[in-house]
Amino acid sequence: MKLARTAILAIASVSLGSAAIVQAQDQTEEPEMSELERRLDVDSVLFNATIKEEPDDDLLELGRLVAMGSSENGGSGMACITCHGVDGEGDGSGAFPRLDGQAGWYMYKQLQDYASGDRPNRVMSGIAQRLTEREREAVSAYYAAMPSGDLDTAHGSMDGTLLQWGGQLAAVGSAEKGIPACVNCHGAQGTGLPPSVPYLAGQYAGYMELQLELWTDGTRDNDAMDVMSTIAKKMTEEDMRAVSEYYARVSNPATDGAEAQAEYDMPAAE
Ligand code: HEC
Ligand code: HEC
């Protein structure tokens, strides 16, 4: 079954994570980096402890039902698919993030954070609160196992210099502004570092830009060791827009098994 197989891939990539983390250590001297790396290791351990094996069919079936709008608590009120799409790709408007192929543990944590108020949101907090822990886990596993491909989104034309700047921030960051390279944690191709770090490649630009703003003003306050809020506070609005528009255009082979490939080559690291 395709769903189950991609889920195993997602779990297998946890072990690859530590290699990337070691690499990240070499690339930056940000003090908070080493803290986060330690935390990421703890998260990996937790993740392995929580989901020892591939999610079984019962869990995925429960996840499917939750996505369609049913729940032990009498319904989450709204089916996830209404906004996040039947295929997890959102509705094309860019207002709702893609969930297909996103890191399962990351999504589960987000649902916990929406429910607890660490990531308050008018829509998602109420929905998450109405789900049981098992339903949060199930629906996260369901979306994580969903094969993701590239969206058919037509990206508006964008100033080439801005995109290039975005690509540079992603690949090497900015020593001058103290912004670490996004690839340190989000993976060389922006495909994320499960379990804790989400993919950015192929995510909607407007959504990513908004998250960076929410971190700046402290509304989203759920990241381990304040890594993302520390980074976001060093970015101008233009930086946020540039890197978000850049990542939205990067091809994401996440769970397809296809070879990693970026539409725009990342500038070579210095
Ligand atoms: C009415 C529209 C709507 C519905 C229904 C909805 N969502 Fe959301 N969802 C959103 C919006 C808007 C956001 C972004 C909110 C923000 O900025 O934090 C979001 C964000 C998320 C995120 C965070 C993604 C990320 O990359 O961090 C997850 C996970 C999620 N939703 C899961 C679900 C699940 C599971 C359901 C069904 C139980 C669901 N959503 C139902 C609108 C919706
Ligand atoms: C030290 C590691 C680290 C670095 C470097 C890093 N990130 Fe993150 N990022 C994270 C983690 C961890 C999360 C998930 C936080 C959470 O649990 O909500 C995250 C989440 C995000 C999200 C939210 C995605 C979503 O689906 O909601 C965006 C957008 C983002 N990062 C952008 C960036 C950009 C742009 C850069 C580079 C300028 C960057 N990050 C650099 C660790 C990092």
Report pLDDT digits (tens) over 181-216: 999 999 999 999 988 999 999 999 999 999 999 999
Sequence-distant (6+) residues with CB within 8 A of 84 are: 67, 90, 91, 96, 97, 98, 99, 143
Q: Whose CA is nearest to atom 11 of ligand 1?
A: 96
Closest-approaching ligand to the CA atom of 83: 1
Residue 209 has what pLDDT? 97
pLDDT digits (tens, 9 = 90+) for 111-134: 999 999 999 999 999 999 999 999
Q: Is 97 in the pocket of ligand 1 (CB under 6 A)?
A: yes
Question: End-to-end alpha-carbon separation of the chain, Å?
Answer: 43
Cα(137)–Cα(228) distance, integer angstroms: 24
Q: How many whole angstroms separate alpha carbon 129 and alpha carbon 194?
A: 24
In the structure, what pLDDT confidence band is assigned to residue 78 with cuts at 50, 70 and 90? confident
139 lines ligand 1 (CB under 6 A): yes
CA of 2: how far to CAs of 5, 9, 145, 146, 147, in Å? Answer: 5, 11, 8, 9, 8
Average pLDDT over the chain, rounded to an integer: 78
Taking alpha carbons only, the member of 198, 154, 166, 152 closest to residue 264 is 166
- Rounded to the nearest angstrom, the distance between the alpha carbon of 180 and the centre of ligand 2 is 11
Tell me how far the alpha carbon of residue 231 lies from the centroid of ligand 2, in angstroms.
9
Nearest atom in ligand 1 to 143's CA: 35
- Cα–Cα distances in Å, from 145 out to 6, 22, 66, 180? 5, 27, 15, 30
| Per-residue pLDDT, 21 | 42
CA of 72 to the centre of ligand 2 (A): 33
Measure 32 CA to ligand 1 centroid, in angstroms.
Answer: 28
Ligand 2 centroid, distance to 32 Cα (angstroms):
13
**Protein residue whose Cα sits closest to atom 10 of ligand 2:** 197
Among 48-57, 220-229, 234-243, 251-260, which is the least confidently predicted range? 251-260
Going by C-alpha positions, the residue among 234, 254, 261 that lies closest to residue 103 is 254
Residue closest via CA to ligand 2's atom 18 equals 223
Query: In angstroms, what is the span from residue 17 Cα to ligand 1's centroid?
Result: 26
Task: Give the Cα separation of 112 and 44 in Å (integer).
Answer: 17
Closest by CA position to 170, among listed 240, 263, 236, 253: 240
Q: Which residues of 21-41 are buried (b: 16+ CB within 10 A; e: fewer)?
A: beebeeebebebbeebbebbe
User: For atom 37 of ligand 1, which residue has the closest CA?
Assistant: 80
**Quick check: CB of 123 below 6 Å from ligand 1?**
yes
* 50 and 105 Cβ atoms separated by less than 8 Å: yes
CA 110 to ligand 2: nearest atom: 18
**pLDDT band at residue 43, thresholds of 50, 70 and 90?**
low
Q: Is the pLDDT of residue 161 over 70?
A: yes
pLDDT higher than threshold 50 for residue 28: no
Tokens of 31: 């003090």
